[in-house]
Every structure is written in structure tokens, then in C-alpha cells.
Amino acid sequence: MRFLKPVLFCILFITFSCKKETVEIPGIIPQPNFINYEDGTFLITENTSIVGDDSKEAQWMANELKFFLDEYFNLDLKITTYSQSDAIQLIVSEEGAKSEDYHLKVSKGGVIINANSYQGVFYGIQSLKQLLTPKTIVKTPILSFVNIKDGPEFGWRGMMLDVSRHFLEKDSVKKVIDILAMHKMNKLHWHLVDGIGWRIQIDKYPKLTEKGAWRKVKEHKKPWEDFETTYENAEGGVYGGYYSKDDIKEIVAYAAERYIDVIPEIEMPGHSEAALQCYPEFICEDTENTGVYCAGNDGSFEFLQNIINEVVELFPYQYIHIGGDEVGKEAWLNCKKCQKRMRDENLQSGEELQSYFVKRMEKFIHSKNRKLIGWDEILEGGLPERAAVMSWRGFEGGIEAANAGHDVVMSPASPLYFDYNQGTGEFEPPSWGGYNNLLKVYQFNPIPEDISEDKRHHILGGQANLWTEQIKSLSHIEYMMLPRLSALSEALWTNPSQKNEQDFIKKIDVHFDRLKALGYNFSWSALSPDYEVTYDKNEKKHVLEIHNELGIYDIRYTLDGSTPSTASEIYSKPIHFSDPIDVYAQTFRNGQAIGFPLKKLFSTNFTEKTKVIYSNPYNESYSGGGDQALFDNRYANPRGDHPNWQGLPQKDFEVIIDLGETTTLSYIGLNFFQHLASTSVMLPTEVTIAISKDGKDYQTVYNETLETIKDRNPIIKRIETYFEKQNLSFIKITAKNRGQLPEWHIRKGDAWVFVDEVSIK
């Protein structure tokens, strides 16, 4: 349907006026594909009725709407099955529309939500709720006359929730479903099984939950390090949990009420350490448990088929996800049974054996009237003809599968891994992987140009993936979901021709108030200040620019390190400085500080004359940007892959910084990094800082032996020294590398030292 851009603009940015009322219109996420406002308003009062037929679905939705209006506006509306004016009518009758389409019309007689399915009516109600919220804008339940004809661009709009790494209680899963539902998302991919936790009751194999659902908690180790199953009541630290069949039925029914299909994932043939610790007879002979089922053992297939038999009874949706990713082949290549299987089936490689495994399971799943879907690694060695592919390693696997005639769900790690950071600051909570900011998610399009025009219908849609290695609570899950799920909902629901990034920014600002009213722990990262420092050679001054991702709201700052307030300077133009500044910047929204602050000391005493002399060169792969990277005013964040870290293995970090001229200083600081869980980078054992006027005689101003920290989480250790103000020309910094990783470290080999940003003033 044709949609007028000027109409879209008025949705959010002007108030709608008529003779009696002025109505501020909050906008809808995801953006409807056709919307037209007209003169006039309708006020919902105690005399307004909610009209729906006597079906279970209609009455459930009517009661949900009644509860909403009571909670937000203290209105106790009557529910009736008789059509009338001054009503909110929920009607299933419209012919020719798709099952998820809806028509919402507000006029003098009230509100009509019309669709050819209850699912469409449900989505219409979600739009109506947004037109009536948040309270910061909508004070009374008055609606502008509007005509919305809407339906989704893609049929698969989902999110994967990993409950294997960290278990999520049943009621918390329901809250995740609520978030999906309010955004018109319709798929929950439920990652129930992985190497370090089995979360679904299987009657035929009770040890899967008696033992496989529980793991020993080991001091200073992440769950996947030296993983060991145990029993719920075992001595020592125990972590785990699982869903009974009744739990699963309850959650699936809860999702179905909200028109969300649940896709279970039962990992195979890899990522299965927990299951194989419970049933080791399915490990390859004479090998360790690598988490891979023996492909030469028919018992492995019988075991998995028996599990699938019970899974399909719990999950009515057509797809069963089998994982299929990151399968190590070494055990197969050293297993007599697997080698015999390869000879018998004329298979030439481990990839072809994996293909055999997946194809055999696909035939069984097909016999249960279900479809197999797996991660894009199932392409390797040959894809079963009926299988669908979920492409996570970029778009390439999805392109290959779609061009070969297979259905595809696009879920590339960039930008759809929601366990990645959404902000660049050091205060972000623990995360995994890279950086996927809000607008990067908004710009996602599941259909790349490389897919043939006649194959594009095979792209079912897209989904975000929320892995929980670093995420232990519902509050943290909400933080990683929101507001990125809001952006994804519009990317998948709204036709690209109707999307407008600037309009979305204004709508999401309003949406923050909805999320806050609902009690969700959402992220303000898109409004947190970020920075860039450059050097103006002509002016011979440094230039600081501060911004946030969305480009809205005041950023207030101080240059002396003090906490900014509503009385502090508002950032409005680049800050030029020739002396060091201790910046503390904070975004303020409606008079309140929000998001994480920017707290950085920016130096100016390093000049073009400054040189760095390294006793031991840094590794070229971890140069941090070269010799000048140590004082470029670009701070590395707490991630081992951040490009600003400068690193070297085994040897000490030892540098002499020749300032090139005599400089008056009283402070020196720098950062070191450690992340035991994911890297070989450890804090140095000792740090020494010395200063000199002539480069010959050095005075030590700092020396400290650093305590070994066994915390597996990322650490930035700030080393600072204050001393009597004096003139100097040379700084010598030595950081002792421990050389080799300690025995208790999960890795073996050289220890690394990572350093960044020497600050002086």
C-alpha cells in the first residue's frame, strides 16, 4: 500500500488538534505499513464497551485489553458480544488479508480492530496500546481518528534464548515472551540443550535431568571450563535447573496465547558434553568426551530419535532445531566405528560424515511431520533436501542455501547477536563477542542483494540470538534485549520503503518511557556519551568531540573530573584544549542523568617530538595503532579484541618515552588488561614507573607488586602515581610479564601483557 511520508512525519513530531482537544501522538513500534490520521478524536470512558465474539481467543484478548485500560486509566470497561457504538470492537471477518494483517480504525463511533484471524486482532491491540502510552505523553485515553492497515514484511520475526549456559526460571521465560509479544515478534527459538546443561525432561532418559541439568561450580572457573555434571543435592557448589514437561507445556501455551511459535533446539551432533557425561556409551570408542555423538554407533541415532519422539509431543510448531554448529571431527577420524561408517557410506571427509548424520536425523524428523532447521554449518558436506538453514556466520550461508532452494532464517552475528555489547564504554555489563549498537540493528535487512530474485521468497525472516555465557539473570537479559529488540521488530515488520531512521529515533525515545513503566531493565547505551579526540596541527591544539549514538538530549560536562549536574555546561561544539583535561560527561534526559558517563583524562604533553623506545617490541597483530598508540587519547575498552590494546607475549613491557622537551608533570597513569576466561592476557606481576631529566639518572615514582587476580571476568587495572611537580623529559615504564601462564589457567603457553593509554599531567 502507498504510504505518504509527510503523514508518517506527523505521527510523532506534532500534536494533533481539533476544536475540543489537543492530542500528542506517540508513534508505534514497529512502524505500521500504512497509517493515515484524520480530523477528530475519540475518548474512551466508563461508558465505552469492549466488543468481541464468545470465542476463547476473543474473550482472552478482551480481558487483556480491559486489564490494560484499568491499570493505565482506572477504567472498568464492560465486555460484551454485541456490536455497538462507543466501543472497542475486536472483529475477525476481513477476507483476503493474511493471517497476521490487521485493520485498526478510530472514528466517531469508537475503535474497530478487524482481521481475518485472532492473531491479526492481537497485533492490532498491541498498536492500540502504544497509541495510549506512555503516560508521559498520554494523560487521558483520547485517540486521534486514524486508519491503519498493517501487516508484516517477514513471517519469521524471532529471538533465540539460551537457557543452557545459565538457566532461566519458568516465570522469567514468560516475561521474555511478553517483551517479544509487545513488539509483534512471533518466534521464540528456545536453546534448551548445549554442552554445559540439559534443560528438558526426557522420560526415557532420566539421567539427562537428574545429572545433565546440574553442574559443579568450580572456584575461579567459568561454567565451561573443566565442566562436570553432578546431582542437584551433591556436596559443594551446584548450579542448574530444568523444565519439566508440565513447565514446557505451560510456557508453550503461554507463548501460543500471544501468537509466538516456540522452536526447541536439541543440539547434535556436537555441543553435547552434558548428555554424553550422562550416557557415555554414545561417545566414540577410545576417545575423550569431546561433546560429539559417535556417528558410527547406531545407538547414537536411536538415542536422539527417542528424544525427538518426546520433544515433538511438547512443541506443536513445524520446526525442530538440531544445532549442527561447531562440530569437532577429530574424534570421528580416530574412531573405528566412524571410520567403518565412512567406508560403508562412501564418505570422504568428516564434513561428509556430519552431512550423513544430519540427513539421517532429517529423515526421522520428517517422519514425525516436522521440519529440520540448523545452523549454517549443516551446509558442509551436503544439505538435506528439505532442511532449512539459520545463517549466523554472516549472510553467506543463508545466500548459499536460498540460492539452492532452501528456506533460510537470517541471524548473522553482526548485527543480531544480542550477547554482544551495545555500547562502547567500560561500564557496560559483561558481554560476549563484538559490538552491535541500536541503529546497526535497525538497519538490518534479511535479504542481501546476492540472492537471486526468484529465490528471495526463501528468506523467511530474521532473528536475534541471545547466548548466556555471560548473562545470569532476567534483568541482564532484558538489558541485552532492549531497546535492540524494538529496532529489530521494525526491521522485520516494516517494509524498507516505510522505514525512517530519524523517525525511529524519536519513537524509541518515547518507547523508553513505555519500557520504564513496564519495569524493564533496558539499556541507555544509545544515549551514553562517546568521544573522539584529534589534533589540529595548525592550531596546535587537541580537539574533543562528544556525541551519543542517537544524537538527542543534552550532554553536560565538566573538565576537572567533577560530577556534572543540570547546571553544568551543555556540550554544543568541539572543545579545543592545549592543557590536559579531566572530562566527566553525562547525558541528561528531562533533567535526569541517564546511561553511563564518559570519564577520561586527555593529555596534551605528548607532542610530535615524543618518541617511544621499546626494549621488547609489541606483537604486530596487537599493535594498538603503532608506536604513538600509547598516548593517542583513544582508550581501549575491556575487550581483548579492542584495537587500541598494545600487547606482547612472554617478555616484559619496557619502554622509555622521550617527551622531546622539558615538561612539568606531577601525574602519570596507564591501563593494563586481563581476561582469563577468553584470552591469555594477564596483569603484569610488577609495575615500575621512573622519571628523568636527562635520560640517564631515573627517579622511581611508582613500584608495586600486583596481586594475582583469578577472577575470570574482564579487568582493566589502572596504575596511577602522583608526585611532586617537577620538570622532566623522560618516562620509563616497566611491567613484568609472568612469562608462562600458570598451571591453573585454562590455557597453556605464553602469558601476554596488554597496555594502553599513558596519561600525564
**164 contacts 197 by C-beta, under 8 angstroms:** yes
Single out the catalytic residue among 203, 246, 281, 326: 326
C-alpha–C-alpha distance, residues 588 and 273, integer Å? 48
**37 contacts 144 by C-beta, under 8 angstroms:** yes
C-alpha–C-alpha distance, residues 438 and 419, integer Å? 13
Active site residue 321: no
Q: What is residue 584's three-state secondary structure? A: strand
C-alpha–C-alpha distance, residues 535 and 537, integer Å? 6
Q: Which three cell numbers stand for residue 448?
A: 542481501
**Residues whose CB falls within 8 Å of the CB of residue 449, separated by 6 or more in sequence, listed in order:** none
Active site residue 326: yes
Active site residue 271: yes
Q: What is residue 4's three-state secondary structure? A: coil
C-alpha–C-alpha distance, residues 291 and 277, integer Å? 9
**18 contacts 485 by C-beta, under 8 angstroms:** no
Each residue of 710-745: b (16+ CB within 10 Å) or e?
Answer: eebebbbeebebebeeeebbbbbbbbbbbeebeeeb
Angle subtended at Cα 414 by Cα 413 and Cα 416, rounded to the nearest 5 degrees: 65
226 — alpha (psi -120 to 50), left (phi > 0) or beta?
left
Burial (CB count <10 Å: 0-12, 13-18, 19+), residue 474: middle
- Residue 672 φ/ψ, nearest 5 degrees: -125, 160
Q: What is residue 363's three-state secondary structure? A: helix
Single out the catalytic residue among 271, 321, 476, 642: 271
User: Among 626, 631, 612, which Cα is nearest to 757's?
Assistant: 631
Single out the catalytic residue among 101, 153, 194, 407: 194
- Catalytically active residues, by annotation: 194, 271, 326
